[in-house]
Chain A
């Protein structure tokens, strides 16, 4: 998925654009499956982005999950309390990490911890913790609304000891509030938000295609010539969903295209995720509605797609956080001005 195909090259598709197109296709079936695909995790994105040559050698081939969220630190990633202290040649980590995707299947976890609480964001660093490290325990796996094929778990770090060289990036604590280090890690998300949006496109398209097929079986007609103002409500609903999906797709492609062309895309990446997360959630709800009993029964997949779609508006930044990012950038407001 990360190697450009000859055809894609010929069509001028960059790596990010190819990736979002591929993700939509993969998630047409099951986004839980994609999340369980070795090496597709956020941890690997972080390692790829900031690891040294030596670290790439050690961790490059390992499936790495990412552990940021804590019971008291969700969207507010700067308030994490997991600590890391240097003790001779080892870091000692203590804390609890929840909602870790691929917690069980992964071979290593990129853990966010603070080395200096006083320093705020400047003290937050990420560490590669390999499975089997002393004091590193997978506490339990969650039962979830959707994406059930993907394992989500909680880790407890109890005097967990890892080699000194497992820190990603510099161990220097920057005093300024908005440090390059923290920004660097957050930048990982600029690249991955369109990928998450693309997952939403795949789920929504699967639901939409299924719904269209079922509606046609009971006599619904779709004709792109006729005015949408005179058609049956279910047909209009379908067209509106198709248009929303297309709009979300174009916003996603644009964000990926910008990344491929070296343009700063932080706002556009959030626009894509905000739109795809919301559109996917509403659209899969509506599909169940139009399908009636078929949309509520587990015999078919519509109800599953509705459950799966909801995660797109939650993980890697909730829809509200995406709106906050878009609003701040679009309006030129600081995080102090727009909280």
Chain B
């Protein structure tokens, strides 16, 4: 069945998020970026909508609703259209909660889910990316070694969102050449969280380098127990999540310059009356649609329980490329004004650069 329409329920969810974004993000995104800080109250407000825990069984503190990657993609696009850093901060606990719920053992679910599925937002995170050229989420340099009743982690991670305040994090490491995830408590010896990173974009999001030196964790903390976990599935979800976010950032730039170009008068008429400007906007419009359709297609496969290796890969690749193109056009349409930080398009451009580079900082 091929269907391009949103269901009533999906529209409702999207509208709910749009309302939240309008209420707590639109007017504050600029200040959050300048101050490199997101007010906890805004995050709490978003948390109360329950996106991260809706699919968690009630017995663990969630709502026990059906898991819907498509719905989550809609949520992420909408949040990121407001602000990408805000979107990532709000959805941060999903990075820990969802893999545990989907791939954890019964004991792991029972032990960790209730800690983070409460009424209050509590940071927990995921560490995948590594701070070197050629970092690849499926070709990890961080290792885990079995020593007696423990796994010993060694290696370095970067762009770990919320690491400083996270009670727990999942750490991706290679165990005998196989990719695995390990549950690591925030205060474990051998783990060092560095200073807050300074990055090209996402000023408002706290990200950190985290290093592991002979960091021993209990053997029962291997996600999925002795069998390990379906690591590639997490990568697929993370890629589609980034694609949804890329769509949102690009849409934000498009919507902003669409209005600007209609109002900005040069040579006696709005600049949008010129083909050179109008054609850029036309291209932005169909590329944002294409990004969304690529995202939905991959998310739909995941929702149907199918493998989405190809679709998630292409969706992230495409949205990564197009987020650059669209947000670049956004700056270009505004000329000098686009370069000035009074306007949001330079922020979209900086943040948009992250879509193709960042891995494992969002999930469905």
Residues on A facing B (Cβ under 8 Å): 11-13, 17, 224-230, 239-240, 242-244, 246-248, 250-251, 253-254, 257-258, 261, 268, 271, 274-275, 320, 323-324, 326-328, 330-331, 333, 337-339
Chain B binding site: helix, strand, loop or mixed by DSSP? helix
Closest 3 pairs between A and B when the two form their complex, measured CB to CB: A250-B293, A271-B286, A247-B290
Question: Once the chains bind, are B356 and A229 in contact (CB under 8 Å)?
Answer: yes
A328 partner residues in chain B, CB cutoff 8 A: 278
A338 partner residues in chain B, CB cutoff 8 A: 272-273, 275, 278
Residue in B4, B273, B314 whose beta carbon sits within 8 Å of that of A239 in the complex: B314
* A-B CB contacts (within 8 Å), total count: 126
Please encode chain B, from 270 to 295, with 1 for each CB lying within 8 Å of some chain A CB and 0 for all others.
00110100110111011101110110
B294 partner residues in chain A, CB cutoff 8 A: 243, 246-247, 250
Shortest Cβ distance from residue B136 to the other chain A in the assembled complex, whole angstroms: 4
Q: Known interface pairs A227-B135, A326-B285. Does A333 touch B2 (Cβ–Cβ under 8 Å)? A: no
- The CA-CA distance from A267 to B270 in the complex, in Å, is 22
Within 8 A of A (CB), among B103-162: 134-139
Q: Known interface pairs A250-B290, A258-B4, A275-B290. Does A227 touch B138 (Cβ–Cβ under 8 Å)? A: yes
Max chain A C-beta neighbours (<10 A), residue from B291, B293, B359: B293
Question: Once the chains bind, are B4 and A331 in contact (CB under 8 Å)?
Answer: no
Q: Known interface pairs A258-B4, A338-B275. Does A225 touch B309 (Cβ–Cβ under 8 Å)? A: yes
B139 partner residues in chain A, CB cutoff 8 A: 226-227, 230
B232 partner residues in chain A, CB cutoff 8 A: 225
- The CA-CA distance from A14 to B357 in the complex, in Å, is 39
Please encode chain B, from 198 to 240, with 1 for each CB lying within 8 Å of some chain A CB and 0 for all others.
0000000000000000000000000000000000100100000
Interface contacts beyond A243-B294, A247-B293: sample of 12 additional A-B pairs, CB < 8 Å, sorted by A: A12-B3, A224-B313, A225-B313, A229-B134, A250-B290, A250-B293, A261-B5, A275-B290, A326-B285, A331-B258, A337-B273, A338-B273
Question: Once the chains bind, are A330 and B282 in contact (CB under 8 Å)?
Answer: yes
Name 11 interchain pairs, CB-CB below 8 A, sorted by A. Answer: A227-B139, A229-B134, A239-B314, A246-B294, A251-B293, A253-B4, A257-B4, A275-B290, A323-B275, A330-B258, A338-B273
Question: Once the chains bind, are B138 and A250 in contact (CB under 8 Å)?
Answer: no
Shortest Cβ distance from residue A241 to the other chain B in the assembled complex, whole angstroms: 10
Decide yes or no whether B304 CB sits under 8 A from chain A.
no
Shortest Cβ distance from residue B360 to the other chain A in the assembled complex, whole angstroms: 11
Question: Once the chains bind, are A327 and B279 in contact (CB under 8 Å)?
Answer: yes
Residues on B facing A (Cβ under 8 Å): 1-5, 134-139, 232, 235, 258, 261-262, 272-273, 275, 278-279, 281-283, 285-287, 289-291, 293-294, 297, 309-310, 313-315, 317-318, 321, 356-357, 359
A257 partner residues in chain B, CB cutoff 8 A: 2-4
Question: Once the chains bind, are B278 and A327 in contact (CB under 8 Å)?
Answer: yes
Shortest Cβ distance from residue A232 to the other chain B in the assembled complex, whole angstroms: 13
Residue in B138, B258, B283, B357 whose beta carbon sits within 8 Å of that of A229 in the complex: B357
Closest to A231 in B: B136
Question: Once the chains bind, are B285 and A11 in contact (CB under 8 Å)?
Answer: no
Question: Once the chains bind, are B272 and A274 in contact (CB under 8 Å)?
Answer: no
Question: Once the chains bind, are A327 and B137 in contact (CB under 8 Å)?
Answer: no
Question: Once the chains bind, are A243 and B2 in contact (CB under 8 Å)?
Answer: no
Question: Once the chains bind, are B134 and A230 in contact (CB under 8 Å)?
Answer: yes
Question: Once the chains bind, are B2 and A326 in contact (CB under 8 Å)?
Answer: no
Shortest Cβ distance from residue B334 to the other chain A in the assembled complex, whole angstroms: 16
Residue in B235, B261, B281 whose beta carbon sits within 8 Å of that of A225 in the complex: B235
- The CA-CA distance from A309 to B4 in the complex, in Å, is 27
Q: Known interface pairs A247-B293, A275-B290. Does A240 touch B4 (Cβ–Cβ under 8 Å)? A: no
Residue in B1, B135, B285 whose beta carbon sits within 8 Å of that of A330 in the complex: B285
Shortest Cβ distance from residue B250 to the other chain A in the assembled complex, whole angstroms: 13
Question: Once the chains bind, are A11 and B2 in contact (CB under 8 Å)?
Answer: yes
Shortest Cβ distance from residue B22 to the other chain A in the assembled complex, whole angstroms: 22
A323 partner residues in chain B, CB cutoff 8 A: 275, 278-279, 282-283
Closest to B134 in A: A230
Question: Once the chains bind, are B278 and A242 in contact (CB under 8 Å)?
Answer: no
Question: Once the chains bind, are B2 and A13 in contact (CB under 8 Å)?
Answer: yes
- The CA-CA distance from A258 to B4 in the complex, in Å, is 8
Shortest Cβ distance from residue A272 to the other chain B in the assembled complex, whole angstroms: 8
A271 partner residues in chain B, CB cutoff 8 A: 285-286, 289
Shortest Cβ distance from residue A333 to the other chain B in the assembled complex, whole angstroms: 7
- The CA-CA distance from A328 to B293 in the complex, in Å, is 22
Max chain B C-beta neighbours (<10 A), residue from A228, A230, A247: A247
Closest to B235 in A: A225
A11 partner residues in chain B, CB cutoff 8 A: 1-2
Closest to B297 in A: A250
Question: Once the chains bind, are A228 and B313 in contact (CB under 8 Å)?
Answer: yes
B258 partner residues in chain A, CB cutoff 8 A: 330-331
Question: Once the chains bind, are B2 and A253 in contact (CB under 8 Å)?
Answer: yes
- The CA-CA distance from A247 to B326 in the complex, in Å, is 15
